[in-house]
Amino acid sequence: MDYFEKTLKEREIFSGRIIKVKVADVELSNGGFSQREIVEHPGAVAILAVTDEQKVVLLRQFRKAVEEVLWEIPAGKLEKNEDPLICAKRELQEETGYTAEKWEKLCQFYTSPGFSNEILYLYRAEGLKLGLSNLDQDEFVEVFTLSRKELEELLEQGKIKDAKTLLGLLYFNLKDKTT
């Protein structure tokens, strides 16, 4: 079946530093009409960075949209036409100071395709070496490395509230439980 929705008209509502917002008038597959509100985002990367001691690098970071400090794996937005792997290497180093010898792509996904085109590329990084971090001027994060036991506690207590971080940690468990 083909559920494609044809754009009849589109107007740009907002063009910000990070997101753009559009409203599209669409024709539905049954001939009806509707409106779709769309948030355009440049896309992002996230990194499940695992130390030689099998600890995972997590950040504590304030997120204005939810007015909360969240536990998150390192992540960052793609620059224009940037290769996701190059972005992931850059962001890991900038946010945490770590560089990694071994990189593996785990998956890619849309974070919330009902209203946003944000795509996220998730990598696993191993063979970590700690150097200097280099944060953006308006970025403040604390860096931690947590053991499997500590991560399980955070998960059980519902303290991991970020989708990409949950996904990364589930991949970490999965991989290690099945190999």
Apex 21 CA angle, 20 and 22, nearest 5: 125
Select the span of 9-17, 49-57, 86-94, 144-152 touching a second copy (CB under 8 A): 9-17
Please state the separation of Cα 56 from the chain's center in Å. 16
Using rule CB under 8 A, residue 29 touches a second copy: yes
Residues 140-179 that bind a second copy (CB under 8 A): 140-142, 158, 160-164, 166-167, 170-171, 173-174, 177-178
Instruction: Compute the distance between CA of residue 174 and CA of residue 156 in angstroms, rounded to an integer.
Output: 16
Instruction: Compute the distance between CA of residue 134 and CA of residue 114 in angstroms, rounded to an integer.
Output: 34
Apex 62 CA angle, 162 and 164, nearest 5: 20
Using rule CB under 8 A, residue 4 touches a second copy: yes
Residues 54-93 that bind a second copy (CB under 8 A): 60-66, 68-70, 72, 75, 77
Using rule CB under 8 A, residue 127 touches a second copy: no
- Closer to a second copy at the Cβ: 53 or 158? 158
